[in-house]
Amino acid sequence: MLPVLLCFWLLTLLAACGRSGPTTLEEMVLEVDVVSLPASPAPVAASVVLLDPLALPVAPASVVPITPFVYRGEASEVTFDGKASVRFPRGSELPPQLLAPSDRFVYDEFTGEACDTVTSVPDARVTFLSTGEIPLPTVLAFGVAGAEMSLVTAEPLDLSLQPPALFEEPFLSWVYATQAVDVRTAEGGCLPPGGDYVIDVDLSLAAGWNQVAMRYGWDPVAEALAAVTIRGGDAATYYLNSFGIP
């Protein structure tokens, strides 16, 4: 579903992120300390990125489209000493197209199909969460060559590694919920139509932004992703592992 995102997977930098306070907020700000590798140009800005897999056209002032289905929030300047404050939008700033029913907000990145979840509050809505090797929402870095897609982790990644070693550290993402809700897949997880890996969800979301952790399972025989487990995250220190345009 997201082939355009794969073109961002080459240039490597690491960004050590400071503490952000509580992981559930109506408006969340990540205080980011950016450290780039010597051979990599330092990013000049960063912002949150969200997904609309249904590709509905909308262009509010505070959240603008990058492609027909990927949106970014405000771009925050990276200062001369390598710091940036990445602001996540308030709920009132989110376009309605980015909010899905709480029983169908998890999407398979490769097929574009939803993974059905059991919800405790059917009226609750949650920002779309895309699984796969690049989870969305994430934090986007802007470098001298343009936008760079990134992965956020609690520990720095060695991006010279290949799967499964690359997947030893959970990837972090954030979802916004309109109200407190518990969501989970049925026993055994969910295999979306046409999907190649099982998605297992068990989340207790509060109203506002919630940190989630995605852990990846690898099939060494098929040399392919076999499962994605999605749970609540509790990291307080973050690393932004960013990939630039080839």
pLDDT one-digit tens code per residue, 17-53: 444 434 457 777 876 666 555 566 776 776 787 867 6
155: containing domain: 3-244
pLDDT digits (tens, 9 = 90+) for 195-218: 889 999 999 999 999 999 999 998
Distance of CA 54 to the CA centre of its chain: 17
Chain position carrying tokens 């959240």: 63
Indicate the number of domains in the chain.
1
Q: What is the pTM for the complete model shown?
A: 0.81
Q: What is the mean pLDDT of residues 99-121?
A: 91
232 token code pair: 């609540």
Chain position carrying tokens 């609540």: 232
Using a 10 angstrom Cβ sphere, with 0-12 exposed, 13-18 middle and 19 or more buried, the burial of residue 86 is: buried
